[in-house]
Structure 1
Amino acid sequence: MEIQIVKKMQKEARKSSGIDFMRLGFALFFMVAVLSYSFLSMGGVPNSMFLAIAALFGAYMAMNIGANDVANNVGPAVGSKALTMGGAIVIAAIFEASGALIAGGDVVNTIKKGIIDINAFGGDVNPFIWAMMASLLAASLWLNFATMIKAPVSTTHSIVGGVMGAGIAAAGFGIVNWTTMLKIASSWIISPILGGIIAALFLFSIKKTMVFKTDKIKAAVKWVPIFVAMMSWAFVTYLTIKGLNKVWPNIVDIFTFLPDTKKPTFLVAAIMGLVIAIIVYIFMKTRVNKKAHSIDNSREGLNRLFTVPLIFAAALLSFAHGANDVANAIGPLAAISDAVMTGGISEKAGIPLWIMGVGAIGIAMGLALYGPSLIRTVGSEITELDQMRAFSVAMAASITVIIASQLGLPVSSTHIAIGGIFGVGFLREFLHTTNIKDDIAQEKEEIADEKKLLKAYSRELETLDAKEHKNKEDYERIVDLYKKINDEEDNLKESKKSLKSSRKVKYVKRDTIKKIIAAWLITVPATAILSAMIFFMIKGIVL
């Protein structure tokens, strides 16, 4: 029997190592292909070797973004079983790459978030190139480590820390815009709290309007179209503000009736969202009415109505993420390319198509090869999600960004999504505690009664023991009392244990929370220190 178990373990180990080897092979092939293309196409340009190596780092960074950050977009849908793991990977890969290529823009800021002053380089291109290379590699290594320990972290904060650390190493602490850094640090608190509150509010409203009702089907016919229409408004507004902002001038050129602005205004985005929301409401009203007769009057029946909206939410979140966060991989790479090609340092740089392709394909490959681990963590290892809870998290992801963008608050999409999951988990704990208050009160009364009874039996036993002349009935009663006291002590222990377990129900896994928050807090300093070390290493090798 033991030999069979050992053989089975060996077979599984060989299978796992084979899959890991294949993943590594695909990843290395992609990076080598990027390195070769960059070197061969730019071979005659001075510093082309730096550009080729930077392209390698950019490909590595893009894959790490796909492996770590994309999980926040599709993890809740997978955890709630609205999507299978394979389906989520296919949808996310397509929409991430589409967002990067279609709406990623043709220009990026060379210095992420304006956290360092490029004038501090004094026009010297070489230290600038080394700093960008160091920031890319440091952010990539940190994301790789975070993915290994199953900690979803912000890729934006990773590259910010990398740029800051390399900038300090190149030109001292004066190069950093500390006001901007303070705003970024504040997002560690603002993002998860806002995301958690909004997700919890939406979940509570869903419960109050449908789940807690006796006739859940009747409530669903009324409220599901409203909630899905709200989601449509939020996502179209979110997508317009965050996903189309870089290509908005091109959209205005095509649709001339739109206001001629560099970026979409909130009013325009909100009106576009409202139009789509009305269409979605009418469609959902018809669909829910048709399905009402085939839906169970239960929580599971209600969950089925949120499956399709969740799939659309995962796709739209992935598109917006690809449009925005591809810059974390290709921003420094585009800066290096611009510096190599022009011999100068620019605040903004054009993005060659091949660099955009590196970012788009890299994110999709990283997701497909190494994304499932983080998708499982986000979807099921923080708290248990169903479709309604996942829907609330998706709503929080879009609405929080809209609110933050209007108030000028710095937020992280990663922290918002994880905060939303925390929010629905803690709401479950709160509602559980509220619901069992009466049970706890009853258990306390039972414990008090058992204690009184135990004392009464003990006093009677002491009286009988003290009696000098005992008859047969006395001895029988003493035996009976010992048995009753023993039974009551067992009952008392069970009651106390039951009361303790009722109070200790936790729907959010505390160990996972601690690990994730710790990773969030050290992301910027860790990547900054690592980036500074890599900068000095590159400088030492070159000089």
Structure 2
Amino acid sequence: MPDINSALILLGVIVLLGLAFDFINGFHDTANAIATSVATRVLSPRQAVIMAGVLNFVGALTGTAVAQTVGKGIIKPEHSTQLLVISALISAIIWDLITWWYGIPSSSSHALVFSIVGAGVASRGWQEIQFDGVNKVLTGLVASPALGFAVAFMVMAILLWLFARAKPQAISRIFGRLQVLSAAYMAYSHGSNDAQKTMGVITMAVASYYGWSGSEWAVPLWVILAAATAMALGTAAGGWRIIRTMGLKVVELRPIHGFAAETTAATVIEVASRLGIPVSTTHVISSSILGVGATRRLSAVKWGIAGRIVTAWIVTIPACIAIGWAVYEVLHLLTGAS
């Protein structure tokens, strides 16, 4: 067992790593909130990034249901250790940086959750995992993109029917203005779901340090504010590699398409946040973009790029379990900690 001073130092390191993950998540997932509005030229990249950063911060302050799922729904609080938390964070950061470098819009959310699973298995075996919590995450993994595609398709079809006789210039003007609102809504919902995941994992470390039980587990205010700030700053830093994939390569977008995709995705994410389901904003906005593109014709969607995105989603789960397990084993060997 580490003494109280070394344990406190380790807690500080974990908090910094957690905030670093949140910052990386911010620039990794900036594309989710602003790619469509940049692609349709409704907002300049600079305007879109500033707006997304501010609304990510606001959204992150609106609840902790997702944080509770991540922080105490995957691993029991009394079995969580600082070594487990730091291993999961390092694993998720490694995966986020790999996918960012190659411009692959993978899921930061699932990278973190399945890194926790991998580190938990290395710590105590598969019996350590709370599969109800994992199933909740997997439900969101499957249902949220399916809903994004289907609802965006329907919303786009309704909009096309309603504005069938309108002039193209009028449609672009109307939805150019509306898309500013939908992009803001998307940025807000992104903060409400994604920032909470970091809140959950930092609180895991705090709970481990103080020995909290499940009934004592709660997200401190300073953790909420710190995570919200880190994500907002990361969003402001931008993630242009992924923006190019999300906004420009999947389907050609106009303001009406951007509005439909962003409004759909933000609503799916916001509902999930209130239900405490950690979903991937990348999954939801990607599938929503595909949904609106499919209303034009199936060939309008560049399915090769879409397939590459889906492959990244699938690979994230085993890759992060493996990386989380490996990082835990290495750190355990080097430190002798438990």
TM-score range, shorter chain: 0.7 to 0.9
Partners in 2 of 1:416 and 1:66 — Cα distance? Answer: 16
Match of 2:28 in 1: 68
The alpha carbon displacement at 1:60 in A equals 1.8
- Contact persistence 2:69–2:277 (CA under 8 A): no
Q: Which fold has the larger relative contact order, with Cα–Cα distance below 8 Å and residues 6 or more apart in sequence?
A: 2
Structure 2 residue 181 is the aligned partner of structure 1 residue 304: no
1:107–1:327 Cα change, 3 Å: closer
Structure 2 residue 227 is the aligned partner of structure 1 residue 359: yes
Match of 2:62 in 1: 103
Match of 1:534 in 2: 327
Task: Give the length in aligned residue pairs.
Answer: 333
Match of 1:320 in 2: 189
- Contact persistence 1:381–1:512 (CA under 8 A): yes
Partners in 2 of 1:128 and 1:326 — Cα distance? Answer: 21
Match of 1:395 in 2: 263
- Contact persistence 1:188–1:521 (CA under 8 A): no
Match of 1:78 in 2: 38
The alpha carbon displacement at 1:513 in A equals 1.0
- Contact persistence 1:335–1:349 (CA under 8 A): no
- Contact persistence 2:42–2:255 (CA under 8 A): yes
Percent sequence identity is: 25
- Contact persistence 1:58–1:358 (CA under 8 A): no
Aligned 1:167-316 pairs, distance under 5 A: 167-210=120-163, 212-213=164-165, 216=166, 298-316=167-185
Aligned to 1:109, the other structure's residue is in SS state helix
- Contact persistence 1:199–1:396 (CA under 8 A): yes
Aligned 1:495-514 pairs, distance under 5 A: 506-514=299-307
Opposite residue 288 of structure 2, the aligned amino acid is G
Unpaired segments ≥5 residues, structure 1: 1-42, 122-126, 217-297, 431-505
Match of 2:206 in 1: 337
The alpha carbon displacement at 1:106 in A equals 11
Partners in 2 of 1:427 and 1:107 — Cα distance? Answer: 33
The alpha carbon displacement at 1:533 in A equals 1.0
Match of 1:482 in 2: none
Aligned 1:342-421 pairs, distance under 5 A: 342-344=210-212, 346=214, 348-353=217-222, 355-401=223-269, 412-421=280-289
Partners in 2 of 1:168 and 1:525 — Cα distance? Answer: 13
Q: Superposition RMSD on alpha carbons, in Å? A: 2.8
The alpha carbon displacement at 1:395 in A equals 2.5
Q: 1:51 aligns with which of 3, 11, 14?
A: 11
- Contact persistence 1:110–1:349 (CA under 8 A): no
The alpha carbon displacement at 1:409 in A equals 8.4
Opposite residue 515 of structure 1, the aligned amino acid is R
Q: 1:117 aligns with which of 33, 56, 76?
A: 76
The alpha carbon displacement at 1:510 in A equals 2.4
- Contact persistence 1:110–1:346 (CA under 8 A): no
Partners in 2 of 1:134 and 1:409 — Cα distance? Answer: 23
1:399–1:337 Cα change, 3 Å: closer
1:309–1:206 Cα change, 3 Å: same
Aligned to 2:301, the other structure's residue is in SS state coil
Partners in 1 of 2:278 and 2:44 — Cα distance? Answer: 33
1:173–1:55 Cα change, 3 Å: same
Partners in 2 of 1:142 and 1:45 — Cα distance? Answer: 31
Opposite residue 140 of structure 2, the aligned amino acid is S
Partners in 1 of 2:276 and 2:207 — Cα distance? Answer: 30
Partners in 2 of 1:111 and 1:517 — Cα distance? Answer: 23
1:105–1:399 Cα change, 3 Å: closer
Opposite residue 119 of structure 2, the aligned amino acid is A
Provide Cα deviations, 1:400-422, integer angstroms capped at 9, x if missing partner: 35777899988543322111111
- Contact persistence 1:199–1:423 (CA under 8 A): yes
- Contact persistence 2:103–2:245 (CA under 8 A): yes
Partners in 1 of 2:170 and 2:66 — Cα distance? Answer: 47
Provide Cα deviations, 1:409-455, integer angstroms capped at 9, x if missing partner: 8854332211111112222225xxxxxxxxxxxxxxxxxxxxxxxxx
Unpaired segments ≥5 residues, structure 2: none
Match of 1:129 in 2: 82
Partners in 2 of 1:351 and 1:53 — Cα distance? Answer: 17
Partners in 2 of 1:389 and 1:192 — Cα distance? Answer: 17
The alpha carbon displacement at 1:186 in A equals 4.0
When structure 1 is superposed on structure 2, of 165-174 and 110-119 the one drifting more is: 110-119
Aligned to 1:116, the other structure's residue is in SS state coil
Partners in 2 of 1:322 and 1:45 — Cα distance? Answer: 34
Opposite residue 362 of structure 1, the aligned amino acid is A
Match of 2:290 in 1: 422
Provide Cα deviations, 1:202-256, integer angstroms capped at 9, x if missing partner: 111222221x32xx2xxxxxxxxxxxxxxxxxxxxxxxxxxxxxxxxxxxxxxxx
Aligned to 2:218, the other structure's residue is in SS state strand
The alpha carbon displacement at 1:45 in A equals 4.2
Aligned to 1:305, the other structure's residue is in SS state helix
Partners in 1 of 2:73 and 2:181 — Cα distance? Answer: 34
- Contact persistence 1:400–1:416 (CA under 8 A): yes
Which is higher, the Rg of structure 1 or of structure 2?
1
The alpha carbon displacement at 1:167 in A equals 0.8
Opposite residue 333 of structure 2, the aligned amino acid is G
